[in-house]
Amino acid sequence: MPRPFAPQSAFVGSSDYQLLPFRFHRLDQQTEILVNECGEFLFVPEGTARKIIQKEFPANSELYPTLKAKHFIYDESSSPLLDVLAAKYRTKFGFIYGSTKLHIFVVTLRCDHSCHYCQVSRQTLNQGQFDMSRDVATAAVDMMLQCPSKHITLEFQGGEPLLAFDTIKYIVSIAKDGAARLGKELDIVITSNLAFLTDDILNYCKAHEIKLSTSLDGPEFIHNSNRPRPGGDSYKVTIEGINRARRALGSSRVAALMTTTQLSLQHPIEIIDEYVRQSFHTIFLRPISPYGFALRSQHKTGYETDAFFEFYKAGLDHILELNRRGYNLVEIYTQILLRKILTPEGTGYVDLQSPSGAGLNVLVYNYDGSAYATDEARMLAEMKDYTFKLGRVLTNSRADIFTSPAFVALLQQGCNQSLPGCSDCAFQSYCGADPVYHHATQGDMTGHRPTSGFCRRNMKVMEHLFSLLRSGDSFIQDVFWGWVTDRNLAEMRASIPQ
C-alpha cells in the first residue's frame, strides 16, 4: 500500500520569526535595498525594512520565503541552516586566513621621474644612501616567509626598482630558495616605469617568471604631464617598454596601472581609449590619491570625490560601450566590488577590506629597514608622519610588528563593522575601513563618514552599481557576470541561453 500524502499545511511551521543581522538603504523613492551580514541583497519596495522589523510578514506572504532563503529572518524551521550562514560568513572573511599575502619591497628611492603624485622618489645618483642593504633585504625576506600564507606575492617598488636590479636579484634568489624550502608559492612582480629595461633584465624576468607592472596614465599629453622626466618623453619610453616586455614575456605578464590626477578627471574617455589602443583588456579607474593633498580642506575633498565619481561613471559607461562593440575591457574597481556584491567571496584588495588589509594583508619593507602597513603609510612617513611605522626588520620580530601600537590601532579602527556611520550602513559588507586614508585626510583613523571622501566615493559608486544591476539590462548583467567569473563576452554568451 502506498503511504498516504500529507497536505501542504502539515509542513508549514509557525510564522513567529526572528531577525538575522541585516542593513538597508533607500535607493530611490520606491526602492530600498536590504543587505545581510554575508552581503546577500534584495531589492524591495520602500518601507519593507520597517515592516520586517515590525513583524508584519505572515508565513504565507509572498516575501516570507525569500526573506528566509536569503537569510534576513529565521524561524523555528531554520535553525539547522544557520550553520550554512556561518559557513558563508567564513568564506567572506577568508582573506584573513594566512595573514599577509602581499609583501612590497622598496629596493631604492632613486628614480629618473619626478611624478607630481609621488612623495618618495629621490633624484640623487648617489647609490647606497637610498638603496636597500643586503642585511635589510635578508631580514625582510625572513619576515615575509614567516607569514603562514601558502601563497605569497612579492612586489618590487621604488623609486624605480630597476635602478637597483642587483638587489632585486639577490632578494629573488633567497626568497625563491626559502619559498621552495617551506613549500610556498611565490608570485613576483616588479612595478617599474620601464625606462631602464634591458635585454638582460627581460631574460632574467622570463627565466624567473616575474611579471612587470607599469604606469600608464593615459594618452601622451596626460601621461607626460603627470610623469615628468628629463627629456619629457615618459610616454614614449613607457610604450616602448610595454611592447618590448610583451614580446619577451607575453602580454599576460605585463600590466599597466593608471594614477588619477586633477588632469585625468577631465579625460576619462581619452584615457580608456589609450588603454584600448595599447591592447590592454583591464583598466583600473583608481580613486585620486589623497596623499598629495593631505592638507586640503574637507570641502575640497568633497569636490574631488564628486569629480572622481563623474569620471568613474563616464568611464564605466564608455567601457560598457566598448564591450558592446566587441572589445573586452574589464574595469578593476567595479570587478572587485561586483565580486563582493554578487558572490559569497571576499576580496584581496586592501582598500576594500574590513578588518583593514593594512598590515594584515600587505606589508611594506622600506629601503631603510622600516616596515609599514601600506604603501600609503610609507608615503606619509616620507612626509614625516610615522603613525603607521610598525617597526624595523633588523631589530624587531614578526611578533613585535604585529603587536606594535600602530598595528593594534589599525585593527581597532579598521573594522567598519564597528565604525560610526559604517556600522549600520547597508554597503558595509562590500566596503572597507581604510584607517590610513582617514588618518591622512581627517587626522583620525576612525574618521568621520559624513565628510569622508572614501565613504562618499564608495557610497556613490555602489549606488550606481546597484542601479545598473537593478535596471535589468541583460547586456550589463552579462558583462558584469563575465567580470566576476573571468569570462569574456563571447564565452559568457556561449554558456547562457541565447
Q: Interhelix angle for 332-342 vs 474-485, to 10°?
A: 90
Q: Contact region for another protein (CB under 8 A) — 7-15, 45-53, 222-230, 397-405?
A: 7-15
For position 490 contacting another protein by CB under 8 A, the verdict is no
**In whole angstroms, what is the distance from residue 187 CA to residue 213 CA?**
13
Confirm or reject binding of residue 458 to ligand SF4 (CB under 6 A): yes
Nearer to another protein, 62 or 199 (CB): 62
455 contact choice in another protein, ligand SF4, none (CB below 5 to 8 Å, kind-dependent):
ligand SF4
In whole angstroms, the minimum distance from the beta carbon of 304 to ligand SF4 comes to: 16
- Quick check: 416 and 445 in contact, CB under 8 A? no
Given 119, 225, 298, 343, the residue binding another protein (CB under 8 A)? 343
- Is residue 93 a contact residue for another protein (CB under 8 A)? no
For ligand SF4, what does the binding mask look like between residues 20 and 59, x meaning CB under 6 A? ----------------------------------------
Nearest to ligand SF4 of 140, 462 (CB atom): 462
Site map 125..144 versus ligand SF4, x via CB under 6 A: --------------------
Q: CB atoms < 10 A from the CB of 54, how many?
A: 8
Which among ligand SF4, another protein, none contacts residue 459 (Cβ within 5 to 8 A by kind)?
ligand SF4
Beta carbon nearer to ligand SF4, 35 or 115: 35
Q: Which stretch binds ligand SF4 (CB under 6 A): 231-239, 253-261, 407-415, 423-431?
A: 423-431
CA neighbor of 463 nearest in space, from 325, 332, 312, 322: 312
**Interface with ligand SF4, residue 302, by CB under 6 A:** no
* Part in contact with another protein (CB under 8 A); list of ranges 8-16, 148-156, 319-327, 431-439: 8-16
Rounded to a whole number of angstroms, the minimum distance from the CB of residue 320 to another protein is: 16
- CB-wise, 490 or 496, nearer to another protein? 496
Name the grid cell of 43. Answer: 531589492
Taking the least distance from each CB to ligand SF4, the nearer of 108 and 428 is 428
* Binding flag, residue 8, another protein (CB under 8 A): yes
* Residues in 162-191 that interact with ligand SF4 by CB under 6 A: none
Residue 205 corresponds to which amino acid? Answer: C
Shortest distance, position 69 Cβ to another protein, whole Å: 4
Residue closest to 192 by CA, chosen among 219, 222, 160: 160
Q: Does 344 bind another protein (CB under 8 A)?
A: yes
Cell of 64: 516570507
Nearer to another protein, 65 or 420 (CB): 65
- HEC string of the chain? CCCCCCCHHHHCCCCCCEECCEEEEECCCCEEEEEECCCCEEEEECCHHHHHHCCCCCCCCCHHHHHHHCCCEECCCCHHHHHHHHHHHHHHCHHHCCCCCEEEEECECECCCCCCCCCCCECCCCCCCCECCHHHHHHHHHHHHHCCCCEEEEEEECCCHHHHHHHHHHHHHHHHHHHHHHCCEEEEEEECCCCCCCHHHHHHHHHCCEEEEEECCCCHHHHHHHCCCCCCCHHHHHHHHHHHHHHHHCHHHEEEECCCCHHHHCCHHHHHHHHHHCCCCEECCCCCCCHHHCCCCHHHHHHHHHHHHHHHHHHHHHHHHHHHCCCCCEEHHHHHHHHHHHCCCCCCCHHHCCCCCECCCEEEECCCCEEECCHHHHHHHHCCCCCCEEEECCCCCHHHHHCCHHHHHHHHCCCHHHCCCCCCCCCHHHCCCCHHHHHHHHCCCCCCHHHCHHHHHHHHHHHHHHHHHHCCCHHHHHHHHHHHHCCCHHHHHHHCCC
Q: Looking at 130, 311, 427, 437, which residue binds ligand SF4 (CB under 6 A)?
A: 427
Quote the least distance from Cβ 39 to ligand SF4, whole Å.
12
Least separation, in Å, of the C-beta of 353 and another protein? 21
Nearer Cβ to another protein (395/474): 474
144: Cβ contacts below 8 Å, ≥ 6 apart: 100, 103, 152, 154, 175, 363, 365
The three cell numbers locating residue 167: 638587489
Of 68 and 398, CB closest to another protein: 68
86 binds another protein (CB under 8 A): no
Among 11, 29, 295, 326, interactor with another protein by CB under 8 A: 11
Judged by beta carbon, residue 283 or residue 455, the one nearer ligand SF4 is: 455
Binding of ligand SF4 at residue 449 (CB under 6 A)? yes
Task: Note whether 460 binds another protein by CB under 8 A.
Answer: no
Site string for ligand SF4, 381-420 (x = CB under 6 A): -----------------------------------x----
Footprint on this chain of another protein (rule: CB under 8 A): 2-3, 5-6, 8, 10-13, 40, 59, 65-66, 68-70, 77-78, 80-81, 83-84, 87-88, 343-344, 474, 477-478, 481, 485, 487, 492, 495-498
Footprint on this chain of ligand SF4 (rule: CB under 6 A): 416, 421-422, 425, 427-428, 431, 449, 454-455, 458-459
